[in-house]
Amino acid sequence: MCGIVGYVGDKQAADFLTEGLSKLEYRGYDSAGIAVYDGEKIRVEKCVGRLAALRDKIKDDVPQGTIGIGHTRWATHGRPSDVNAHPHTDCSGDFVVVHNGIIENYLTLKEELIEKGHAFKSETDTEVVAHLLEEVYNGDFEESVREVLRRIEGSYSLVFMCRQHPDELICTKQDNPLVIGLGDGENFIASDIPAIISRTRRTYILNDGEMAVVKKDSIVITNRKGELVTKKVFEVNWNAEAAEKGGFEHFMLKEIHEQPKAVRDTMSQRVAKDGKSIVMDELKWTADYLNDFNKIYIVACGTAYHAGLVGKYYIEKLARIPVEVDIASEFRYRDPIIDEKTMLIVVSQSGETSDTLAALKESKRRGAKTLALTNVVGSSIAREADQVLYTWAGPEIAVASTKAYTTQLILFFMLSLYMAEILGTLPKERIAELVAELQKVPAQISETLSDVEPIKTFAKQYGFNEDVFYIGRSLDYDVALEGALKLKEISYIHAEAYAAGELKHGTLALIVEGVPVIALATQKSVYEKTLSNIKEVKARDAVVIGIAAEGDDELEKYVDHVMKVPETDELLIPILAVVPLQLLAYYAAITRGCDVDKPRNLAKSVTVE
Ligand code: F6R
Please give the distance, rounded to the nearest whole angstrom, from the Cα atom of residue 549 to the centre of ligand 1.
Answer: 28
| 87 upstream amide cis, omega within 30 of 0 | yes
Residue 429 has a CB neighbour count (10 Å cut-off) of: 9
Please give the distance, rounded to the nearest whole angstrom, from the Cα atom of residue 303 to the centre of ligand 1.
Answer: 5
Among 329, 384, 401, 602, which is best to mutate for testing ligand 1, by the most ligand atoms less than 8 A from CB? Answer: 401
Section 449-465 average pLDDT: 84
pLDDT of the residue at 376: 86
* Distant-in-sequence, close-in-space partners of 389: CB < 8 Å, separation ≥ 6: 280, 282, 283, 371, 372, 373, 411, 415
Nearest CA to ligand 1 atom 5: 302
What phi and psi, each to the nearest 5 degrees, are found at residue 8?
Answer: -145, 125
Residue 606 pLDDT > 90: no
Angle at 560 between CA 557 and CA 564, to 5 degrees: 75
Among 251, 350, 609, which is best to mutate for testing ligand 1, by the most ligand atoms less than 8 A from CB? Answer: 350
Residue 254 pLDDT > 80: yes
Answer whether 220's CB lies under 8 Å from 227's CB: no
Among 374, 389, 606, 607, which is best to mutate for testing ligand 1, by the most ligand atoms less than 8 A from CB? Answer: 606
pLDDT of the residue at 463: 63
Residue 158 pLDDT > 70: yes
The shares of helix, strand and coil residues in the chain, as percent rounded to the nearest 5, are: 40, 25, 40
SS (H, E, C) 375-426: CCCCCHHHHHCCEEEECCCCCCCCCCCCHHHHHHHHHHHHHHHHHHHHHCCC
172 by DSSP, 3-state: which?
Answer: strand
**Quick one: which atom of ligand 1 is closest to the CA of 300?**
16
Among 256, 332, 353, 374, which is best to mutate for testing ligand 1, by the most ligand atoms less than 8 A from CB? Answer: 353
Confidence grade of residue 39 (pLDDT, cut at 50, 70, 90)? very high
**Quick one: which atom of ligand 1 is closest to the CA of 301?**
6
Please give the distance, rounded to the nearest whole angstrom, from the Cα atom of residue 101 to the centre of ligand 1.
Answer: 25
Residue 336 pLDDT > 90: yes
Answer whether 326's CB lies under 8 Å from 338's CB: no
Section 537-558 average pLDDT: 95
| Predicted TM-score of the model (pTM) | 0.83
Of 127-141, 233-247, 385-399, least confident by mean pLDDT is: 233-247
Please give the distance, rounded to the nearest whole angstrom, from the Cα atom of residue 119 to the centre of ligand 1.
Answer: 41
Catalytic residue of the set 231, 317, 364, 604 = 604
Answer whether 187's CB lies under 8 Å from 203's CB: no
How many angstroms separate the Cα of 532 from the Cα of each of 283, 522, 561? 43, 14, 17
**Quick one: which atom of ligand 1 is closest to the CA of 604?**
8
Mean pLDDT of the chain: 94
Helix 403-423 to helix 573-591 angle (10° resolution) is: 170
Confidence grade of residue 303 (pLDDT, cut at 50, 70, 90)? very high
* Distant-in-sequence, close-in-space partners of 60: CB < 8 Å, separation ≥ 6: none
* Distant-in-sequence, close-in-space partners of 258: CB < 8 Å, separation ≥ 6: 393, 394, 403
pLDDT of the residue at 390: 94
Nearest CA to ligand 1 atom 8: 401
**Quick one: which atom of ligand 1 is closest to the CA of 399?**
8
Answer whether 523's CB lies under 8 Å from 476's CB: yes
Residue 602 has a CB neighbour count (10 Å cut-off) of: 12
Answer whether 87's CB lies under 8 Å from 100's CB: no
pLDDT of the residue at 245: 84
Please give the distance, rounded to the nearest whole angstrom, from the Cα atom of residue 207 to the centre of ligand 1.
Answer: 34
Active site residue 301: no
pLDDT of the residue at 244: 77
How many angstroms separate the Cα of 188 from the Cα of each of 161, 168, 216, 221? 14, 11, 9, 14
Pocket of ligand 1 (CB under 6 A): 301-304, 348-350, 353, 356, 400-401, 485, 489, 605-606
Nearest CA to ligand 1 atom 9: 302
Answer whether 203's CB lies under 8 Å from 179's CB: yes
Give the span between the Cα atoms of 538 and 553, in whole angstroms: 18
Active site residue 604: yes
**Quick one: which atom of ligand 1 is closest to the CA of 486?**
7
Nearest CA to ligand 1 atom 16: 348
pLDDT of the residue at 42: 97
pLDDT in tens, 172-182: 999 888 999 99
Nearest CA to ligand 1 atom 10: 303
SS (H, E, C) 207-267: CCCCEEEEECCEEEEECCCCCECCCCCEECCCCHHHHHCCCCCCHHHHHHHCHHHHHHHHH
**Quick one: which atom of ligand 1 is closest to the CA of 302?**
9
Helix 403-423 to helix 428-449 angle (10° resolution) is: 170
Answer whether 478's CB lies under 8 Å from 608's CB: no
Nearest CA to ligand 1 atom 11: 302
Confidence grade of residue 586 (pLDDT, cut at 50, 70, 90)? very high
Name the burial class of residue 582, with classes exposed (0-12), middle (13-18) and buried (19+) by CB atoms within 10 angstroms of its CB. buried
What phi and psi, each to the nearest 5 degrees, are found at residue 444?
Answer: -70, -35
Please give the distance, rounded to the nearest whole angstrom, from the Cα atom of residue 82 to the centre of ligand 1.
Answer: 29
Among 348, 349, 389, which is best to mutate for testing ligand 1, by the most ligand atoms less than 8 A from CB? Answer: 349
**Quick one: which atom of ligand 1 is closest to the CA of 404?**
14
pLDDT of the residue at 607: 67
Candidates 360, 28, 275; CA nearest to 176 is 28
Section 7-11 average pLDDT: 97
Please give the distance, rounded to the nearest whole angstrom, from the Cα atom of residue 304 to the centre of ligand 1.
Answer: 6
Answer whether 405's CB lies under 8 Å from 91's CB: no
pLDDT in tens, 207-223: 899 999 999 999 999 99
For residue 83, the 8-state DSSP code is T
pLDDT of the residue at 93: 96
Please give the distance, rounded to the nearest whole angstrom, from the Cα atom of residue 461 to the centre of ligand 1.
Answer: 29
**What region does 590 belong to: left with phi over 0, alpha with psi -120 to 50, or beta?**
alpha
Catalytic residue of the set 2, 47, 171, 301 = 2
Residue 2 has a CB neighbour count (10 Å cut-off) of: 27
Section 325-343 average pLDDT: 94
Please give the distance, rounded to the nearest whole angstrom, from the Cα atom of residue 405 to the centre of ligand 1.
Answer: 9
Confidence grade of residue 25 (pLDDT, cut at 50, 70, 90)? confident
Give the span between the Cα atoms of 133 and 98, in whole angstroms: 13
